[in-house]
Each structure stands twice: as structure tokens, then as C-alpha cells.
Structure 1
Amino acid sequence: MTGRKKDLVNLPAKTDYAVGYAKPPAGSQFKPGQSGNPKGRPRGSKNKVPALNEERLKDIILAEAYREIKVREGERSVSLPMAQAIVRALAVNAAKGQHRAQRLFAEMLSTTERQNKALADEWLETAIEYKVEWERESERRARLGITDLAEPLPHPDQVIINLNNDTAHVQGPMTKKQKEVVEHWTQKRADWADEVEMLDEQLAKDLKDRTRQFFEDDKQRSLKLIAMVDDLLDKIEY
């Protein structure tokens, strides 16, 4: 069969009238007593709500869980996240002796404590491994006289392990950015301390009341800033 004959194989069937405006092909015309849509319109299709994206639904649930609501607590109203209010109501009912509430609250508490313990154990194991491995590496560098490699951050000396209560924490900055911030404020603290020392020298002189007050105000401002930096460094145990 030639190519041209192949092209003719699927030609539409001939009709006994000209297909045109208001004259569709006979095969596609509506027939008497037969619906053009046999299955009909799907029930409820007109008002069907689009399915929510799974992630968006999670956002909605979390937004509701942490939405602030007013609850009565004794003689006053307090604002609590929805989730906290529900847990509190459950705990109160458990304390009142409701067996279902007691069982549910006990299960929630047990699950939460078990998850927290697992996370704490994982953190302790990670901290110990980090400290041990970097101490070995520091000893290796010292033994071989290697001095051109950067120190780890946090330094293993910053990782404090307490095996008495199975805890670990890091003293001081943990990242390069945090270290830069700490060093910046440590330097500012030193500058303010120098300023206080200079102001004390000026205040030791015989000054006019107005000048003395100016120096005293400046000193108090510097002392306040030093205290703020000290508080920041105390929080990170630096």
C-alpha cells in the first residue's frame, strides 16, 4: 500500500448531506430519547470545595493549636495557646479523678518524657564523640607540630560533659558568626572599661559641678553598657 493510500484509510465516512454550520456529522448528532450526557452531572460538583494542600492543612492545624484564647483561671481570665488550654483542661479532669482523662494524660506524659530522654541521650552521645575526637586531633597536631590549621569551633574545651546527671552543654560561641559577635562585644566592653577608668581620673580632679555631672553621667552610661555585655556573656557562659 502506497503512502497516499495509507493516508486515505482513516478518512471520515461519507454523509448524504453537506457538513457545515448547524449541520454536525451524523455520528455526533443527538438522538431522540437519548441524553447527550448519559452519566449526568456528578452529584455535588457545583459546590465541590477544592482539596487543601497537605502542607497548608498542617499550617492551619498548627495555627489553631497555638492561637491565643481566653480561659478562666480562678477569679481571672488568662490568655493561653489553644494546645496548652486543652492539655491543662485534660490535666485538671485527671486530677478530679476522671479515669479516661487520667489514662490519656499518663500516656501523653510517658510519650513526651520518652521522646525527651531519647533526644537528650542522642545529644550527650554526639557531644562526647565530638569532644573525644577533637581532643585526639588536637593531640595529633601538637605531636606533629601542625600549627597552620584552624581551631575547631566550638573548641573541645568548650564542650562540658557532666556524667553525674548525663548532660552536656557548650560554653561560649558555637559558630564562626557567633564568635565574631562575641569578640566584637568583648572588645566594646574593654573600650568602655577604659573609658570608665579615664572618667574616674577626671572625676578625681577639682571640677565645676556642671562638668562633674557630665562626667558622672558618662560613667554611669558606660557602666550600664558593661553590665549588659556581662549579662550576655554570662548567658553563654563565656
Structure 2
Amino acid sequence: MRFRPASAPAASSAGLRCFRNRPGYGKPPRWSQFKKGKSGNPKGRPKKTPASIAISENPTLEALRAELGRKVKVTENGVTRELTVREIQLRAQSRNAMIGNAQAQRDMYRQARELDEYDAKLAQEAKARRADLYKDHQEWHAAMVTIYQSAAQHGLEPKIVWPHPDDFVFDDGAQRCRIRGPISERDVPLFEWMRAERDALFVRSALWLKRPSKARCMQINIFDCLWICYDVMLPLRWQTCGNAATLLAVIRKISRRELEESTKHYAAKADTLRAQLNLPSPGKAEYKVANTIMKTVAQRLGYRSLAHLEAELGESGIAVEAYCGS
């Protein structure tokens, strides 16, 4: 039996409770503690955005993508070229398959089969989209035919003028359709400019035929090629290919001076429409395209390039501007 000294006072229950609840390490004050049944973070953990996840949580994928796209100089048959790491890897795998590596052969066969299936799927989807688009154009054409027929019965102009029913060109075999001409009123100025260019080139073609045979250093009328290129893109009602021979026969009876005035008129009209449409003036890019197209024709006639042909035309006394167009 243990004796308690008489001098030691007895500890009260209130004092012990106060000692236990005294703030200290691991014991925050009661007034700052979380209330029972209430969350300490009511808004919850903030969600991460996909961009932050891709950058912060997938550094390996980013590094792998950069490494596969890295270009390396490779020399093959004495020719040095730059290839990506991905291309080099596929070439190495193909080389191993060709020398008899069974694993490489299996991988290449599997990848080829997956590629064929993927291409077949894309082709099927493209065919379905093309069929849907072709059907939409057929319905559009039927609607325009109805609009024009209804307007003709009442002797009125159709409310919707473009596209004209005759401008729909259908290819049933390929399931394709194109519209030669404006689709809406907004496209009309562009085709007006193309018609003015066509008319100017058409009159220049007649002027070329009026030149003496010695002045025609080329055996073909280049303006026929140019104005036909514009003509086939115009609406059917604006085209002149069907009666071009008749028009040329009529134009030949007109004097050369009147034809030159008509050429200036159509060229000025085309320039005005070009300025209204903010179309860029012919520059180096257009001349490069023209040189590429005309190089074969010029070489057959004994000229090195379009520049050589223009130089010969200038020496022959033929204005290059009037001959090759503005």
C-alpha cells in the first residue's frame, strides 16, 4: 500500500482537464480546429487542365516526340539527305526484315496490315462523304430547276439567280459535281473579271490572225489557248466556245484599228475589275507559272524559254505587251 505525503495536494479533475487541453506540439487550439461534420476544404482539390497534364505529367512523351522528329544527316549512295529518327528507324526495320530477321518481318507484316486497314477505312469514309455531297448537289440542282421553271411560268426573274441549273456539271461515274460559274451574288464580280479577260484575249486572237504571215513567228495562236482557259470556267450562258468560229469570222471583217480599240477597252475593264476585287497584279510568281507552261511549246518552236521567245518577238517588231497580254 502506497502512502501519499500529506504535504502534496490532491489534483482536481478540472485541473487535469485543463492540463490535457493545453495547446502545444500536435495540439492546436480548440477554436482553430475543424468543426465536426464540416470539411476543411469545401471547394475541393482544383482540377488540372489538359495542357498542364500534358506538360507536367507526360514529359517522356514530349521527349519521345521531339526525338522521333529530330533530323539526322544520312548518306546513301553518295547522296547526303536529312531524315527524321522515325524514318531511319523504319528503314532499319525494313532492312532487318529483308535480310531474314523473323521478328522484324513479323513487325513489318503487322504494320503493313494495319496500314492497309487504315487506308481502306479512310477510303470508305471518303466515298461515303462524296456520295452524300453528290446527293446534296443533285437536290440543290433540282431545287434550282424548280425555281427557274416557276419564274418562267409567271414571266418573272427568279428570286435566286445563282447558281444557274445549266452550270451544274455531274459525273455519275466518279460521283462528283462541279459548278462552272458563280455560286452566289458575291462571286459574280470575279467571273465578270474573268469574262473581261476572256474578251480581251479573244480580240487579241483576231488581231494575231490579221498580222502578215511573216510576222507570225509562232505556228500556233497562243491567244486561243489563253481565252479558252478562261472561257471553260465561265457559266454556260457566258461561254463562246460553241460559236467561236462564227465570232472570229465576223471580227475578221472589222478593221485592225477598231480591234485594237476593243482590246484596250476590255483590258481596261479587266484592270478595273481586278482593282475592285483587290486581286494582285501579275508578278514573278505568275510569270514563273506562265514560263513553266509555255516552256515546252517554246522549245518545240526552237526557243529556250518564254523570255527567249519574248526577246525574239521584240526583235521582230511585235509588241510583247500586245502579244503576250497585259
Q: So what's the TM-score if we normalise by structure 2?
A: 0.38
Q: So what's the TM-score if we normalise by structure 1?
A: 0.48
Higher helix share: 2
> Which structure would you say has the larger Rg?
2
